[in-house]
Amino acid sequence: MSVCERTWTNANGETNEAWVVDYRDKAKGGARVQRTFHLKKEADAFAVDAKVEVRDGIHIARSKSVTVAQAGKFWIATAETNNLERATVANYQQLLDTHIVPFIGTTKISDLSVPMVRAFEDKLREAGRSAKMVKRVRNALSMLLSDAMERGLATRNVARGGDDGEPKLGKDGLPVLQAKYTGLHALRHFFASWCINPKEKGGRELPAKVVQEWLGHSSITMTMDIYGHLFPSGDDAAELAAAEKAFLARNTVATSR
At 161 the pLDDT is: 62
Residues of the chain with pLDDT under 50: 163-167, 169, 171, 173
User: Are the C-beta atoms of 148 and 154 separated by less than 8 Å?
Assistant: yes
Whole-angstrom Cα distance, residue 76 to residue 30?
35
At 166 the pLDDT is: 47
pLDDT digits (tens, 9 = 90+) for 54-105: 665 555 565 567 899 999 999 999 999 988 889 999 999 999 999 999 999 9
Domain boundaries, the chain: 2-63, 68-150, 179-257
The domain defined by 2-63 folds into GCC-box Binding Domain (3.30.730)
How many helices (H) and strands (E) the chain has is answered by 10, 3
At 26 the pLDDT is: 59
At 179 the pLDDT is: 60
Whole-angstrom Cα distance, residue 205 to residue 198?
4
The CATH code belonging to domain 68-150 is 1.10.150
pTM here?
A: 0.49
At 181 the pLDDT is: 58
